[in-house]
Structures are given as C-alpha cells and as structure tokens.
Chain A
C-alpha cells in the first residue's frame, strides 16, 4: 500500500546509546520531514529534505542527524541518546502543497 512507513514503531534506549529511525515512502515525493511530538508542544520540525542528497535543519535539530541517500528513504539518527529525546517521532512527505502524508510514528523512550 502506498504511504509512509516508519520503523521501528517502539524503542527503549539507554542514555548514550545510538540508533537510527527509518522513514520510507513509495509515492515518489521530493520533500520529506522529521517531526517530534511532545505533550503541550505540538509537533516540532527536527530536519527536512527537499530532494535526494539534500538536508536542512528545522526548529529543534540539536542531537540529531539525518541522511537522504535515496529519494524514498529519510533516516534520522541519534548519536548519543539523552532522556530529553524521549518523544514520539513522525515522518512526513509531500507532493505539492497539500499532499502531506504522515507515518504512524515511532515511540522512543530514553532511560
């Protein structure tokens, strides 16, 4: 089925561990985004990409890195996880101004 797929759906990390979240879309969308959702703060943009091989910082990029080596994949990395990165992470891609498609989210807990 066409859409945005995020893996994993759940993860528990210890402080200082690293991990990569994968976002994959099969809609040939150019633009992709990573957001984090925290209670009372809505969704905040971490990083985004306007095409293969390009990335840019959003509102809250510190502690995260991203890569877009293939058009269909957008990876979000945490090099050294901190409890402040406990959150729900959403990936999204768009086609045109109104065609936003969100993934189902990754719930990350850092202990």
Chain B
C-alpha cells in the first residue's frame, strides 16, 4: 500500500522569502508524483508532476520540486513567495505499475501562509 506524509501542516513565511514544503512517500512499487494547489473555496490545480527523467521538475508559478528516490521524498520549493501563493498544497502519488488504475493517494495537505 502507498502512503504520503506531508511533514508540516502549516508553513508561515514572509513575502519574498524562500519556502520548502516537505513530502515523503512510502510505496513498494515505482510511483508518479504530483503537487497540487488549492486556493480558498476552489478546486485543485496541478502545480507540477514527476513521471520520469530529470529528478528536478519545474512547474507553474515559479515552483519546482526534486524527486529523491533514496529518501523517498518530493519536496516543493519556491525561491521567493508572493502573497498570492497563500493556499493549501497537496502532495500525491500514483502507482506506475502494470495494474495502475490511476488512483491518487494524497497527503494531508500543507497550508502556506505568506505574510506581508
């Protein structure tokens, strides 16, 4: 069975400071990895995804994440945050095996609070 742990439930940060949102996963098979963002009272929007190839993945709005297979992590980073980045962020994994049903397993979410 797969599981995802987001290590921080809330991350407060000042505007223009760098931020890292941590995600660790557990799986007995190879996985695809995703980060989603949810703005207040809205649905989920894909930030970035790791399918294969380069372990450094760049996404929208200046975010990037690095896949570390040995540490089973997929941390999300941004060098300089804006007030508009205030939102909830979800890490998710999906089985890439032959029996893949496309199911996403989500972490608990991290609330990023950007302060002026």
Which residues of A pack against B, CB within 8 Å?
31, 33, 35, 40-45, 48, 50, 56, 58, 90, 92, 94, 97-98, 100, 102-105
Within 8 A of A (CB), among B59-116: 90, 92, 94, 96, 100-109
Q: Please classify the interface of chain A as helix (H, G, I), strand (E, B), loop, or mixed, using the class held by over half of its residues.
A: strand
Category for how many chain B residues contact A: 20 to 34
CB within 8 Å for A43 and B32 given contacts A90-B43, A102-B43: no
Judge whether B43 and A103 touch: CB under 8 Å.
yes
Tell me which residues across on chain B come within 8 A of A43, comparing CB atoms.
44, 90, 92, 104, 106
Q: Can you name the residue of chain A whose Cβ is closest to the Cβ of B45? A: A102
Name which of A56, A94, A102 has the most chain B CB atoms within 10 A of its CB: A102
23 A/B residue pairs, CB under 8 Å, sorted by A: A31-B102, A33-B103, A33-B104, A35-B104, A42-B6, A42-B90, A42-B107, A42-B108, A43-B90, A45-B104, A45-B105, A56-B101, A58-B103, A90-B43, A94-B102, A97-B32, A97-B96, A97-B100, A97-B102, A98-B49, A98-B51, A100-B104, A102-B43
Within 8 A of A (CB), among B23-65: 32, 34, 42-44, 46, 49, 51
Q: In the complex, what's the smallest C-beta–C-beta distance from A86 to chain B, in angstroms?
A: 16
